[in-house]
Structure 1
Amino acid sequence: MPFQRFVETGRVALISDGPNRGKLVSIVDVIDQTRVLVDGPTSNVPRGQIRLNQLHLTKFRIKFPFTASTRVVRKAWSDAKVDEKWSESVWAKKIASKEKRAQLTDFDRFKLRRARSRRNHIRTATFLALRKSASRNGTLYGKKKMAKGGDKPKPAKKGKAQKEAPKKK
């Protein structure tokens, strides 16, 4: 089934254009192919008609009779807890973060850029340290490999100072 959200009575929608932009409404009646009757009982949107290209349909739907009054829509809205469900949705969180980002001052953007830079520096240093230790362990590219000499530890190499030192008799 390709479509999940239909224009139907009780469908909750987000207004994308006009004076009530960003507010939630419920579709009360379908007028024709391009217009619907909406009502926003908790978002202070008065009952009225709106074009479908001004709406974004959400996944939420509330149950109430065909062309119900505002009082009935408000009761169904509160019973379904639409406001709580909407505030927990990813869509609402994205909108809130966009609004918060738009309110940043120059100094706030500077602080954010510095914090990201510091975070990335710490992340890179940690990654390099882990990669270095994995490379030394032999676990960087898959299974840990045994040393060529078996389980025996390799003898320490003699340095120049030990080779040239005179032997006592």
Structure 2
Amino acid sequence: MVFERFVEIGRVAYIAYGPEKGKLAVIVDVIDQNRALIDGPCSGVLRRDTNFKALHLTPFTIGIGNSARSGTVRKAWEKAEITKKWNETTWAKKIASKERRAELTDFERFKLMKAKQARNRLVNVEYGKLMKKARKATPKPKRLRKKKSKK
């Protein structure tokens, strides 16, 4: 099957834009083909309807019923340890990294640049050594000379 993540009750979703951008919420109910009722009691998202276009589905689901109350959602969220699982994903780490980079001061950006330069210098020196060693190890092939024909 091509798709692995479906819009379903209990699916945890990342809110991509809107007033709650960057938070996680759970799909509590599907209103119609364009909107869902979401709730995120553990992430600070109030219960409201949202367009599916604003949601990115995560691989996590929790076991809740149709139109479950906020307390039920909170208990299921904590039982499934969604916040812990989310923080371990590469998706969350990338988002945290972007946020950290956006908060860098000029001096921190300068230090980062210098650290990258030092790392790249070390990599290039080692690469040069390996290339030199490889050139010495393989002998150059002898060229075949064309015999001159006497006329």
Calculate the TM-score normalised by the size of structure 2.
0.87
Q: Which runs of 5+ in 2 are unaligned?
A: 141-151
Where does structure 1 differ by over 3 angstroms across 4 or more consecutive aligned residues? none
Q: Which residue of 1 aligns with 2:67?
A: 67
Q: Give 1:139 deviation, angstroms.
A: 5.9
Tell me the alpha carbon deviations over residues 35-93 of structure 1, each in whole angstroms, 9 at most, x when there is no partner: 10001010111111111111111111111111111111111111111001000001000
SS at match of 1:124: helix
Q: Which residue of 1 aligns with 2:147?
A: none
> 2: CA distance between counterparts of 1:38 and 1:139?
65
Q: Does 1:111 align with 2:116?
A: no
Q: Which runs of 5+ in 1 are unaligned?
A: 142-169
Q: What fraction of aligned residue pairs are identical, expressed as a percent?
A: 52
Q: Paired residues, what number?
A: 140
Cα gap change, 1:51 to 1:128, in 2 (>3 Å) = same
Q: Which residue of 2 aligns with 1:5?
A: 5
Larger radius of gyration: 1
SS at match of 1:113: helix
Cα gap change, 1:104 to 1:130, in 2 (>3 Å) = same
CA contact (8 A) 1:15 1:22 kept: yes
SS at match of 2:59: strand
Aligned AA (2:55):
L
> 2: CA distance between counterparts of 1:56 and 1:129?
47
Q: Does 1:52 align with 2:52?
A: yes
RCO comparison, higher one (Cα < 8 Å, 6+): 2
Q: Which residue of 1 aligns with 2:86?
A: 86
> 2: CA distance between counterparts of 1:140 and 1:60?
57
TM-align CA RMSD? 1.6
SS at match of 2:22: coil
Calculate the TM-score normalised by the size of structure 1.
0.78
Q: Does 1:95 align with 2:95?
A: yes
CA contact (8 A) 1:131 1:140 kept: no
SS at match of 2:28: strand
Cα gap change, 1:60 to 1:123, in 2 (>3 Å) = same
> 2: CA distance between counterparts of 1:53 and 1:132?
54
Aligned AA (1:84):
K
